[in-house]
Structure 1
């Protein structure tokens, strides 16, 4: 009986959001449209021809609530289909009056309309990389978002202080938005154990040009590379070498310093070119970790 009441409350709340939160769309229609026929059972869009692949706004807008976990990671919940997913904040992010907004203007409980190609990647949470436009239609509160706390609890785990951070790089090509996990190397790290005592760990090994394996970013042309570290990274140092120096394991080769631009709360390597090895040294309060990759 308890589960039945929870489900009923969920449906009633979803109905309220559909009628009042995103009223400019067709979310309250009971009759499926031709576009809806392309949806999978979980509410995501299939990647079939004629179903949103041709233009940026080809699919019907998704009315979604913003959810945020204790680590600051942002998620969305489709208040119509119930799909739980992640999505990038596009450049075209406005309020209902068309005024431009920043990513920092989004808070837990807000309702947004998300426009894009309609292709939801099959993962959990889902991933919607093809977002072209987003509209903040109603500001909300953490209390509004609390009804979905069960979803956040499923994906969030308290970080282990002894665990080293990781870093990935995200970039866009003509075909897709790609994210890759970077190789890691030397580090120095300090943390407090369960007894409150400070522990120190370190690895001082080979130079990046002597690493046997490196993650690779396949670029068709120069592209912006967005660094996505875990935890609260304070600063970053970046150096690059020609790939030929890595192939020759020439650790004496001189590297070139690379400045990272700060955009929307993250560091971006602007117009990265194919043919280079990149060493990324991330600095946290607890210490530093080296990461590496090459472009081709």
Structure 2
């Protein structure tokens, strides 16, 4: 048999790497860092093996450890010392993220991105101000426009502390525009916004809510995070954020939404981010602990799939583990 086309010719050592269509590099990865204002020592996160909450005074040390592996960027989340119904510690000058960012930027050369949301700071655990009913009890309706002002204040406080980029994650309508206006008015026109532009109401967030102490005290977030059934809606959401000035467009989660990552890549010329979320991380760890798969190989393949789908950068808890290998 005369086979004219033999794809195996290009799968041999020596040529295989030269014709590889997608490369994964440590510089593509963003490592989440959890800073806990209530902690006096590092606290392992049981549902996320290898991850931990760190005290504020160890935030820079933790980031320095990540930098040694080749990771260049971090995404900072905060667990505050106290919470209230409006999440006022989110924008406090002496808040946990603000203090951590000052230390990280003073002591490391990492690129520092901050999560901008209220769920970790509100006593009810929802991503904004709740609408009270006639009896004065909160309902599951988040007051969208009132929340925008608080998100903008939070973003500005992060920029004042030295954040290189802010990343609003609340899926509040108009959040990018409000934050862009707030940053510009405060003299931070050069601080970019990485928007969680298509963030789904997902079952894969469970371990993160343990890590960040951000689980809703009641109800869920389906009224403001996206329905997992919807892909066309994601493009509408992303378009709105792009029009409002988002510099980077994120899809979250990643693995179960690679079709959305790919669609965003085709339709928009902005950098695209994918968030390899806590549940995706935890399930690979659990399977590897059973001996069912190779943890690092499966993690690397997963991240490569996100790059192949069109992600330019990936937020992942595997950043530290894989950076040296990459």
TM-score range, shorter chain: under 0.3
Instruction: Kindly indicate which of the two structures has a greater share of residues assigned to strand.
Output: 1
Greater relative contact order (CA < 8 Å, ≥ 6 in sequence)? 2
Instruction: Please say which structure displays the higher CA radius of gyration.
Output: 1
Instruction: Kindly indicate which of the two structures has a greater share of residues assigned to helix.
Output: 2
Q: TM-score, normalised by structure 1?
A: 0.23
Q: TM-score, normalised by structure 2?
A: 0.22
